[in-house]
Amino acid sequence: MHYRRISYRYTLRRVGAPQFGDPRSEQLPFQLAQPTWRPPADVYECAGRYEVKVEIPGVAESDLELTLYQDTLVVEGTRRGGIPADARVLAMEIRYGPFRIAVPLPPDVDRDRIGARYDQGFLHLDLPKRGGAA
């Protein structure tokens, strides 16, 4: 996994992404066309932290990039593979190519303690709250 930390805000948010009660999320009048796909994700709050679980089987850890903006954590990557050139497609439900998911950060997240691990096709992101247990 590659990590980057950006000191400015991530201002273009994907409509329908979890917003953690941000009242502005309903007011966004646009959605840009995306040449990527968005993997399924669960976002939940626990005692002292938030957790995000992203389902991305078949993605190599080296093909993942996490970017931490001032207000958003962005997960990008590529699922390589696809169908053979000589194949005739009978059904195709698995998405390949680049993907992106943007997770807006609640204001009480301790950005210095965010953690990530990739295990059996799931990316687990741990977003500790400020003042929460270490």
pLDDT for the residue 68: 93
Distance CA 94, CA 79 (A): 10
| Structural domains present in the chain | 2-24+34-128 (2.60.40.790)
Alpha helices in the chain (DSSP H): none
* pTM exceeds cut of 0.75: no
**Regions of the chain with pLDDT less than 70:** 10-35, 132-134
CB 15 within 8 A of CB 27: no
Strands 64-68, 2-5: pairing kind: parallel
Residues sharing a CB contact under 8 Å with residue 104, sequence separation 6 or more, in sequence order: 10, 13, 17, 18, 19, 20, 22, 25, 71, 72
pLDDT for the residue 110: 95
pLDDT for the residue 47: 92
**For the segment 2-32, what is each residue's pLDDT rounded down to a tens digit?**
777 777 776 654 444 445 555 544 554 555 5
DSSP run (H or E) holding 115: strand 115-119
**In the chain, what are the helix, strand and coil shares in percent, each to the nearest 5?**
10, 40, 50
